[in-house]
Structure 1
């Protein structure tokens, strides 16, 4: 299983915003330089996070991105879903078999992974 680099950048961006400047706007250029990624590419990722309501976009000369008001509740799973979507990681080839053992095992494992990621909040790592 592998998440896209976009998820990696989104998670690091969210952690940076939480640790360094939860209320002060940070520009895309600074966020991109910190991760050694193109500002254009990171802007697309940030747009997804804005659309999902995790961060705010502030216009103007001193603009940039800030975390939403109740950012402490944002989980790793929330961020991953914002970037990757909410579809299942496993796609069973036997759609008509409700008793597919492989599907059952894979979906159970995916549920455990999602529970772990749901319980990991960005705010938990700001304290460390």
Structure 2
């Protein structure tokens, strides 16, 4: 199982914005892109998805850029992953077993446990008490 690079960039972008949330200044896409060594065009597409889901706020104008909203502390890893990857299940049985497929039951149960962990872990949880210099 592997998440896309887009999810990786989205998670790191939101973490970066959360670490800068105290200064209340939006951060431009160019600065965010340089911080992650990714093209600003590619990161703009990721940011558009995050804005659409209400996870990031876009501020236009000369001093514009991106920032987190007022309730940023409640943004979970699952919220970010769903914004980029969508909400489709990781596993689909391609046989006609219906809902009684034993393999699909195991895979579905495992996915639910993973989603629960990702839902219960917020960006705020990650930065509390951590050495963010390692970021």
User: What range is the shorter-chain TM-score in?
Assistant: over 0.9
Give 1:18's aligned residue. Answer: 18
In structure 1, the residue matched to 2:51 is: 50
Equivalent in the alignment of 1:74: 75
Could you tell me how far apart the structure 1 residues matched to 2:116 and 2:99 are?
23
* 1:33 aligns to 2:34 (yes or no): yes
Cα RMSD (Å): 1.0
Q: Note the alpha carbon deviations across 1:60-116, whole angstroms, 9 max, x for none.
A: 111000101101000000000000000000011124432111000000000000001
List gaps (5 residues or longer) in structure 1.
Answer: none
What is the alpha-carbon distance in structure 1 between the residues aligned to residue 81 and residue 45 of structure 2? 15
The secondary structure found in structure 1 opposite 2:67 is strand
How many angstroms apart in 1 are the aligned matches of 2:47 and 2:99? 39
Deviation at 1:57, TM superposition (A): 0.4
- Structure-1 residue corresponding to 2:110: 109
1:8 aligns with 2:3: no
Which consecutive residues of structure 2, in runs of 5 or more, have no partner in the other structure?
Answer: 131-135
> In structure 2, what is the Cα distance between the partners aligned to 1:109 and 1:57?
36
1:83 and 2:84 correspond: yes
* Alignment: residue pair count: 128
